[in-house]
Amino acid sequence: MSSADLALVLTVLAGLLLRAAGLALGGALRPDHPFIAWANAVSVATLSAFVVLSIAAPGGLLATVPWPARMAGVAAGAAGWRLFRGGLLPALLAGLAGLLAAWTVS
């Protein structure tokens, strides 16, 4: 087994452990327990931070997309969202089209 294989297996086990601990803990508390509300706030905040970083300061391959194209993607997605009255799929496609169009132009 290579080191990449071993690292993958151990990461899978760690992820399952985190999920199991969360389900056991959350299942033992009443739904309106403050800890549940805190966990929800942390999860939403993590997602929000991920979105902000991916758009404003991405790393890896995403960083090769010029920032005007990323902004155009967000703006087109928001416009699609309004135009299609909250339809996620058309808004997403509009955002991608906006990004690709702006990237092509730049």
Partner 1 sequence: MTTTPFRTGFREALGAPALAMGATFLAFGAAVAEAGLSLPWALLSSGAVYGMAGQLVLLGVATGPGGAVLPAVAAATAANARFLPMSVAIAPLLGRGMLRWLALPFIAITPWAAAMRRLPGLRESARPRWFLGFALASWTAALAATTVGHLLAPVLPTALRAALLFTNPLYFALLLAADLGRPGVRGAVIGGALAAPLALWLGPAWGLLAAGLVGGTGAFLVGRR
Give, as ranges, the residues between 30 and 59 that touch partner 1 (CB under 8 A). 30-31, 34-57, 59
Say how many residues touch partner 1, by CB under 8 A.
72
Is there a contact between 95 and 102 (Cβ–Cβ < 8 Å)?
no
Quick one: which of 29, 67, 83, 106 contacts partner 1 (CB under 8 A)? 29
Should residue 83 be labelled a site residue for partner 1 when binding is judged by CB under 8 A? Answer: no
The reply on whether position 62 binds partner 1 by CB under 8 A is yes
Backbone angles phi, psi at 30, to 5 degrees: -75, 150
How far, in Å, CA of 101 to CA of 41, rounded? Answer: 36
